[in-house]
Amino acid sequence: MKIRNQYLLLIISFGLLALAVLGSVTIGPVPVSLSQFTGGGTGSQIIFDIRLPRAIAAAFAGAGLAAAGTALQALFRNDLADPYILGTSSGGAVGASLMMALGLMALIPAAAFVGAITAVFLVYLLASRDGRISTSVLLLTGIAVSTFFSAVVSVFMVFAGTNMHQIVFWLMGGLWNTSWNDIPLLSLIFVPVILLILYSRDLNIITCGDSETQTLGIDPHRTKLLLLGAAAGITGIIVSVTGSIGFIGLVSPHLTRLITGPNHAILIPGSLCCGAFLLLIADTISRTWLGELPVGVVTAFFGAPFFLFLIRRREEL
């Protein structure tokens, strides 16, 4: 596909995303129109105080998870890599649930951020051998780390007392408590996202293998650590606000790659759009027709079968 056509697709994608945001704020248990946005009254309050910040939060979170997933798939040279599968969400859950058990609610974002980053680097260190990571080792390590962290969370839940229900809802992932106060924190994801875009050429080269990377004058180990930190930072920020939302980072890069191709200079912005669109739609469906079912449950319903499809396809190749 020509570069000009790829950028045209990106422009169209961002336009569709903007329309999806506008549609999201009008659709819900109580239908409202955009004309009520500035008209005052109940309709204006529903749009501006509840639905608009939630829609923006969903778009930011989906975009960030998609960007992190795209980077991880390139860094591990593995199309099954995903922030959720690699234990990032479980690590964030450990930090958040500890703060909930202690009643230190103000420290939940910081603790979840540290936990998510710790989980990603732990999986990387345990799964890598001389900088190489096999698919089976990566998946098994991610499962093992997630299982261990889940056990730790279960311990915290036992001692959480009256705060146990908060941990349970946080683990399922959701956007029902998001407000305008969360938008500045979520907007910080675009700092590491920009870093990933600036390193898109390096990501293209890394996917070819370490020998090619070194031949072209790139330090694969240092670059991987830098970009892994960026992906972990994105996920940590999102997890600290929304809880555990899985599979957006797995599905979005695959869908985008079918349209844009493997060039990360186009793939990452395209995945941003796709992830934002998917999570926005999932959250709109959840709050409108599923009685505020946690959006993490909704994404798991379509993400888990997609993950199994990818595993089956790899076995057939």
pLDDT surpassing 80 at residue 237? yes
Instruction: Flag whether 27 is in a domain.
Output: no
Q: What is the 3-state secondary structure (H, E, C) of the chain?
A: CCHHHHHHHHHHHHHHHHHHHHHHHHCCCCCCCHHHCCCCHHHHHHHHHHHHHHHHHHHHHHHHHHHHHHHHHHHCCCCCCCCCCCCHHHHHHHHHHHHHHHCCHHHHHHHHHHHHHHHHHHHHHHHCECCECCHHHHHHHHHHHHHHHHHHHHHHHHHHHHHHHHHHHHHHCCCCCCCHHHHHHHHCCHHHHHHHHHCHHHHHHHCCCHHHHHHCCCCHHHHHHHHHHHHHHHHHHHHHHHCCCCCHHHHHHHHHHHHHCCCHHHHHHHHHHHHHHHHHHHHHHHHHHCCCCCHHHHHHHHHHHHHHHHHHHHHHC
**Is 294 within the bounds of a domain?**
yes
Task: State residue 256's pLDDT score.
Answer: 92
Range among 179-183, 216-220, 242-246 rated most confident: 179-183
pLDDT at 45: 84
Sole residue written with tokens 């109940």: 42
Considering the chain, what percentage of its residues have pLDDT values greater than 70?
A: 92
Q: What does the alpha-carbon distance between residue 110 and residue 104 come to, in Å, rounded to a whole number? A: 11
Which range of 28-42, 149-163, 182-196, 283-297 scores highest in mean pLDDT? It is 182-196
- Stretch 296-309: mean pLDDT: 87
Residues 6 or more apart from 282 whose CB is under 8 A from it?
A: 58, 295, 298, 299, 302
Task: Over range 8-36, report the average pLDDT.
Answer: 84
Q: Given a cut of 80, is residue 55 above it in pLDDT?
A: yes
How high is the pLDDT of residue 184?
Answer: 94
20 in any annotated domain: no
Residue-number span of the structural domain to which 236 is assigned: 54-316
Instruction: Check residue 2 and give its pLDDT.
Output: 57
| Amino acid 46: pLDDT | 85
Is 35 inside any structural domain? no
The reported pTM is 0.91
Per-residue confidence (pLDDT) for residue 78, from 0 to 100: 81
- Six-digit token pair at 233? 């930072």
Structure confidence at residue 273 (pLDDT): 94
CATH number of 236's domain: 1.10.3470.10
Query: Which of 253, 251, 256 shows the shortest CA–CA distance to 71?
Result: 253
110 touches 257 (CB < 8 A): no
Q: Could you tell me if residue 48 is inside a domain?
A: no
Residue 108: predicted pLDDT: 83
Beta bridge partners of 132: 129
Number of domains observed in the structure of the chain: 1
Instruction: Give me the pLDDT at residue 38, please.
Output: 67
The number of C-alpha atoms within 13 Å of 9 and in the hemisphere containing its C-beta is: 18
User: Do the domain assignments include residue 26?
Assistant: no
- Stretch 101-110: mean pLDDT: 84
pLDDT at 77 over 90: no
- Mean pLDDT, rounded, for 52-68: 95
pLDDT at 102 over 60: yes
Does 197 reside within a domain? Answer: yes
Residue 68 — very low, low, confident or very high, per pLDDT cuts 50/70/90?
A: very high
Higher pLDDT, 138 or 75: 75
Reported confidence tier of residue 103, pLDDT bands at 50, 70, 90:
confident
Whether residue 43 lies inside any domain: the answer is no
Percent of the chain residues topping a pLDDT of 90: 28
Q: pLDDT class for 159, splitting at 50, 70, 90?
A: confident
Q: pLDDT tens across 29-41, in order?
A: 887 877 766 666 7
Residue 29's pLDDT is 84
Residue 156 sits at φ, ψ, to 5 deg, of -65, -35
